[in-house]
Structure 1
Amino acid sequence: MNEGQEQFTRSQELRGFLLLCAVVAPLLAVMVVTGYGFLVWMYQLFAGPPGS
């Protein structure tokens, strides 16, 4: 009945959750903030600093 489906154990799910929380989420957050900072920097490079 479940021949094509893999059954994940509790330890595999815990390992995946910890990987998501400890590695993927912080890395994604850093990448988003870095990307936004880069976009602001590029905008100010062409448009000038604020107030000018």
Structure 2
Amino acid sequence: MQRICRVGFGRPFGFLAVHRTSGLVLAAGRVTEPDTDAGTEPGENRPEED
């Protein structure tokens, strides 16, 4: 079974990936320019930009 969750943010945001058992931060990042093609499914061909 696969779960898919989609979330859209209209401004810059930060994120953390945390190991639940230890609380250790595994990854952190900040998105300053969200991808405009975020609505496409993984594996779909995105339109070419001119």
TM-score w.r.t. the length of structure 1 is: 0.20
Q: Report which of the two structures shows the higher radius of gyration computed on alpha carbons.
A: 1
- Point out the structure with the larger helix share: 1
| Higher RCO structure, 1 or 2 (CA under 8 Å, sep 6+) | 2
TM-score w.r.t. the length of structure 2 is: 0.20
